[in-house]
Structure 1
Amino acid sequence: MLRHTYASLMLEAGESVVTLARWLGHSSPAITLGYYAHFTPEAGSKGRTAIDGLLGERGDRQVGRNSPDSPQAR
């Protein structure tokens, strides 16, 4: 259980899956992801936060043509 907790915390903290796989003795990062990728309930939120910070949180949000929020996509 300690191993699983450690690996999960390392991934959540942003450690590279390649590095973590090497530390855990896995032959492939795919094995590491197969065991530990399911734990993140907020998967994707870091990416959204980074983009929001890059673009700024504007009230006049522009929606791209391929966005699901675009009138063309409806």
Structure 2
Amino acid sequence: MPRYHFHLKRGAERIDDAIGVDLPDDAAAHAVAREVVAEQLARHEGVGDLDGWQLEIADGNGRPVATIPLRLEEC
């Protein structure tokens, strides 16, 4: 099963997910990413500190699979 990493990034800032998680495919990784974004939005509701942040999904080789803005309407 492939390993996926979920990195947070905003401009030059980046918080890497060094551990990752094993998931069956890109679609499953995207579903997990959407859950993470929804959790972060709920935790930071009404707070502007998420502006510009994105969650990047990368496969085990570091290849970006998708990037999801931390905005609910984009999920």
TM-score if structure 2 supplies the norm length? Answer: 0.27
- Greater strand percent: which structure? 2
Rg larger in 1 or in 2?
Answer: 1
TM-score if structure 1 supplies the norm length? Answer: 0.27
Structure with the larger RCO, 1 or 2 (CA within 8 Å, 6+ apart): 2
- Greater helix percent: which structure? 1
